[in-house]
Amino acid sequence: MNMQWDAETYGRDFSFVHRYGDGVAALIGAAPGSTVLDLGCGNGALTHRLRQSGFQVMGLDASPDLLSAARKSYPDIEFVLGDAVDFSLPEPVDVVFSNAVFHWIEKKCHPAMLACVSRALKPGGEFVFEFGGRGNTAWIEAALERAFSREGYRYQNPFFFPTIGEYAPMVEAAGFRVEYAQLFARPTPLQGEDGLGNWIRMFLKGPFEALPGPARQAVIRRAEAELRPVLCRDGQWYADYVRLRMKARKL
Ligand code: BEZ
């Protein structure tokens, strides 16, 4: 999926994305000093955390804006512009790591992405990742479907949120043994009174392009009104995230 990232807003208002990455990074079993590719590294915050844990890291991302923010913040880390579904590395690495990226990739492109990951790893190398799993943002999506429909438009969920049963065979088919898999709910606090609206504006630019200008705000306001009793507690908005977390080993 092509998406224009606003690196400044992303870093300021959506820093939870990399903070939550620590849990999945804890699944890495490779020794300090091992080489780690952070696939879809974004602004590099998590790549930097991995380096602080003692790994030799590099980051790859398809967004020039996020990469230039990453290079500015961490000039001594190697960041490479590249597409997760079509990349190769000069030397294979010990670990490929990825957080909150794969749901952006269309289902039909995952076999190509998994083949690139497999080629990028040494035999026995670890593939550790987390992304949105089945049920992710289900309340938000349902409210948007209704709000779009009231305006006479159809909301199309642009994301791939698989179950373990759907995704583990895809990983295995790319030459991995799945060693760990978990699908779990993680309601995720959103920043500020307008947290839900800002989340929608930041991440759902694609579906909103179909709407004429005045309808956009109406849809967001309607979704907020519908979701407030479910996703807002004491003035704090939460996104109804569900995470699919896995560790697999290259055979
Ligand atoms: C997620 O991390 O689950 C996510 C982020 C943006 C849009 C949809 C899902």
Residue 180 alpha carbon to ligand 1 centre in Å: 22
Q: For the segment 225-247, what is each residue's pLDDT rounded down to a tens digit? A: 999 999 999 999 999 999 999 99
Residue 113: per-residue pLDDT:
98
The residue nearest atom 8 of ligand 1, judged by CA position, is 203
Name the nearest CA neighbour of 126 among 87, 146, 98: 98
Q: Counting atoms of ligand 1 from 1, which one is nearest the CA of 242?
A: 3
Residue 5: per-residue pLDDT:
63
Confidence of residue 10 (pLDDT cuts 50, 70, 90): low
Residue 227: per-residue pLDDT:
98
Query: Is the Cβ atom of 198 under 6 angstroms away from ligand 1?
Result: no
pLDDT at 1 over 70: no
Classified as helix, coil or strand, 100 is: coil
Residue 170: per-residue pLDDT:
98
Q: CB 234: neighbour CB atoms within 10 A?
A: 4
Residue 125 alpha carbon to ligand 1 centre in Å: 27
For residues 43-57, average pLDDT: 97
Name the nearest CA neighbour of 102 among 160, 59, 36: 160
Query: Is the Cβ atom of 186 under 6 angstroms away from ligand 1?
Result: no
For residues 100-119, average pLDDT: 98
- Alpha-helical (H) ranges within the chain are 7-13, 16-19, 21-25, 45-52, 64-73, 110-120, 138-150, 164-173, 195-203, 205-209, 213-231
Residue 2: per-residue pLDDT:
64
For residues 124-136, average pLDDT: 98
Angle subtended by helix axes 213-231 and 138-150, to nearest 10: 140
Is residue 85 within 8 A of residue 109, CB to CB? The reply is yes
Given ligand 1 and candidates 98, 201, 203, which is best to mutate, with the most ligand atoms within 8 Å of its CB?
Answer: 203
Classified as helix, coil or strand, 149 is: helix
Q: For the segment 137-191, what is each residue's pLDDT rounded down to a tens digit? A: 999 999 999 999 999 999 999 999 999 999 999 999 999 999 999 999 999 999 9
pLDDT at 15 over 80: no
Percent of the chain exceeding pLDDT 70 equals: 96
Q: In this structure, which amino acid lies at residue 165?
A: G
The residue nearest atom 1 of ligand 1, judged by CA position, is 132
Query: Which residues are CB-neighbours of 110 under 8 A, at least 6 positions away?
Result: 102, 160, 170
pLDDT at 217 over 90: yes
Residue 127: per-residue pLDDT:
99
pLDDT at 4 over 90: no
Residue 105 per-residue DSSP state: S
Residue 162 per-residue DSSP state: -
Whole-number average pLDDT of the chain: 95
Is residue 50 within 8 A of residue 25, CB to CB? The reply is yes
Confidence of residue 7 (pLDDT cuts 50, 70, 90): confident
Given ligand 1 and candidates 136, 160, 161, 245, which is best to mutate, with the most ligand atoms within 8 Å of its CB?
Answer: 136
pLDDT at 18 over 80: no
For residues 35-56, average pLDDT: 97
Q: Which of 11-20, 40-49, 89-98 has the lowest mean pLDDT?
A: 11-20
For residues 98-111, average pLDDT: 98
Q: Token digits for 45?
A: 């915050």
